[in-house]
């Protein structure tokens, strides 16, 4: 799978040249960047060449793809892995299979697919991808859910499952709780009977945001300032202190959140939205023996791409991609996991979508309609 991912990244070397090979009709279009920089300045909508459909390849018509912070960081050139340039932006999305190569048996025309790896370049109308870089999604999964499924809900699912053994009634605390990941954490935790304490930044329309997160299943929503207040004790009269903290921010937000973690609890850092380091008081290590961990979905996928799934003691195969995706599909079907609050934007309005995706306090993910 690692080789497939590398091939996919190379596949993203999509030059704005004469069209075609796979399929017919007008050339596909996509959001291409030829150099790193601020996305609205360096990203351009261009005609793309589609590679020849190889025996193990799949020709996909993309339907929708979100703009995530990692996509922005890739274009800025600050992300941990960067595709060769020029590259098509976008790592998540959903598409429909148009045609498949001779050796492809797991997919057929009409199937819905999402990326199984990072770096596919999903902001395009059509593309040819190696079959191993795609996952099939049942057609009853709504398009906005499928388009936003392969990164954020998977990250939320893994962080809730892999670091602490949580039982119904236990609690989790997280910052940036209104992020795509945060909304998925609230819903997946709720479906498992786990209580959530959700930290957001203060804003003019805070009551509206609190109401929205409570409607998703949040048990408590507090601002970063409230984390320091004695009233926090009231929360812990009805629920236990969290065994797990999920950190998407860094800086002061993280230090304050850590104060509420149970002794021997774990804080998992998965994002750094404040672009500031994590500061941990010495006392948290000495007197509470807290554990600090990190999580990266791309690494988890690489680690779980090959070999037999590891069965847990209860015999459940929760560690495989298939079982994780099945669990997420079930949650979606039962109405327990929805797409993040979003704004759907036609592809030609991509500049506004890129700008809006970088604005603070918007609480709405931009989804490009392709």
Ligand X SMILES: NC(=O)c1ccc[n+]([C@@H]2O[C@H](COP(=O)([O-])OP(=O)(O)OC[C@H]3O[C@@H](n4cnc5c(N)ncnc54)[C@H](OP(=O)(O)O)[C@@H]3O)[C@@H](O)[C@H]2O)c1
Q: Which is nearer to ligand X, 50 or 146 (CB)?
A: 146
Contact window for ligand X (CB under 6 A) among 80-88, 99-107, 255-263, 270-278: 270-278
Q: Which is nearer to ligand X, 55 or 202 (CB)?
A: 202
Residue 321 in contact with ligand X, rule: CB under 6 A: no
Q: In the set 25, 110, 230, 360, which binds ligand X (CB under 6 A)?
A: 360
- Quote the least distance from Cβ 184 to ligand X, whole Å: 8
Q: In the set 232, 273, 305, 321, which binds ligand X (CB under 6 A)?
A: 273
Q: In the set 119, 121, 180, 242, which binds ligand X (CB under 6 A)?
A: 180
- Quote the least distance from Cβ 298 to ligand X, whole Å: 6
Residue 365 in contact with ligand X, rule: CB under 6 A: yes
Q: Which is nearer to ligand X, 178 or 266 (CB)?
A: 178
Q: In the set 33, 123, 129, 270, which binds ligand X (CB under 6 A)?
A: 270
Q: SS in 3 state form for the chain?
A: CHHHHHHHHHHCCCCCCCCCCCCCCCCCEEEEECCCCCHHHHEEEEECCCCCCCCCEEEEEEEEEECCHHHHHHHHCCCCCCCCCCEECCCCCEEEEEEECCCCCCCCCCCEEEECCCCCCCCECEEEEEHHHEEEECCCCCHHHHHCCCCHHHHHHHHHHHCCCCCCCCEEEECCCCCHHHHHHHHHHHHCCCEEEEEECCCCCHHHHHHHHHHHCCCEEEECHHHHCCCHHHHHHHCCCCCEEEECCEHHHHHHHHCCCCCCCEEEECCCCCCECCCCCHHHHHCCCCEEEECCHHHHHHHCCCCCCCCCCCCCCCCCHHHHHHHHHHHHHCCCCCCCCEEEEEHHHHHHHHHHHCCCCCCCEEEEEC
Residue 69 in contact with ligand X, rule: CB under 6 A: yes
The residue from 33, 79, 270, 350 that is catalytic is 79
- Quote the least distance from Cβ 240 to ligand X, whole Å: 25
Rounded-to-integer distance, Cα 232 and Cα 229, Å: 6
Residue 90 in contact with ligand X, rule: CB under 6 A: no
Residue 115 in contact with ligand X, rule: CB under 6 A: no
Q: In the set 14, 152, 187, 198, which binds ligand X (CB under 6 A)?
A: 152
Q: In the set 42, 87, 151, 227, which binds ligand X (CB under 6 A)?
A: 151
Residue 271 in contact with ligand X, rule: CB under 6 A: yes
Tell me the site size for ligand X, rule CB under 6 A: 25
- Clarify whether 79 is annotated catalytic: yes
Catalytic residues: 79
Q: Which residues bind ligand X (CB under 6 A)?
A: 68-70, 151-152, 155, 176, 178-181, 201, 248-249, 270-271, 273-274, 295-297, 360-361, 363, 365
């Amino acid at each position: 799978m690692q080789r497939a991912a590398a091939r996919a990244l190379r596949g993203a070397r999509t030059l704005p040249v004469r069209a075609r090979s796979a399929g017919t009709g007008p050339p596909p279009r996509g959001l291409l960047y030829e150099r790193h920089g601020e996305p609205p300045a360096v990203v351009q909508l261009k005609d793309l060449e589609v590679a020849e459909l190889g025996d193990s390849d799949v020709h996909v018509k993309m339907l929708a793809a979100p703009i995530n912070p990692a996509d922005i960081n890739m274009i800025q050139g600050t992300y941990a892995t960067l595709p060769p340039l020029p590259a098509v932006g976008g790592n998540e999305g959903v598409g429909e299979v148009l045609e498949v190569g001779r050796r492809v048996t797991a997919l057929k025309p009409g199937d819905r697919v999402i990326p199984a790896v990072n770096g596919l370049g999903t902001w395009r109308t059509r593309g040819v991808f190696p079959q191993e870089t795609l996952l099939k999604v049942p057609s009853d999964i709504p398009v906005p859910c499928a388009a936003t499924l392969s990164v954020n809900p998977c990250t939320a699912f893994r962080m809730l499952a892999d670091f602490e053994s949580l039982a119904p009634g236990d609690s989790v605390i997280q910052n940036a709780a209104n992020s795509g990941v945060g909304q998925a954490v609230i819903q997946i935790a709720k479906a498992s009977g786990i209580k959530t304490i959700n930290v957001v930044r203060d804003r003019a329309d805070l009551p509206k945001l609190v109401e929205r997160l409570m409607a998703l299943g949040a048990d408590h929503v507090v601002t970063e300032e409230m984390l320091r207040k004695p009233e926090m004790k009231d929360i812990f009269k009805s629920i236990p202190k969290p065994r797990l903290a999920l950190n998407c921010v860094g800086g002061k937000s993280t230090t304050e959140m850590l104060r509420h973690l149970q002794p021997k609890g774990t804080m998992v850092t998965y994002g750094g939205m404040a672009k500031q380091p994590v500061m941990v008081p010495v006392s948290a290590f000495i007197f509470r023996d807290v554990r600090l961990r990190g999580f990266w979905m791309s690494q988890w996928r690489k680690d779980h791409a090959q070999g037999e799934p590891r069965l847990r003691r209860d015999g459940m195969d929760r560690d495989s991609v298939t079982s994780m995706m099945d669990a997420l599909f079930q949650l979606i079907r039962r109405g327990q996991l929805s797409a993040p609050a979003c704004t759907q934007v036609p592809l030609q309005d991509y500049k506004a979508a890129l700008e809006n995706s970088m604005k603070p306090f918007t609480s709405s993910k931009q989804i490009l309609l392709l």
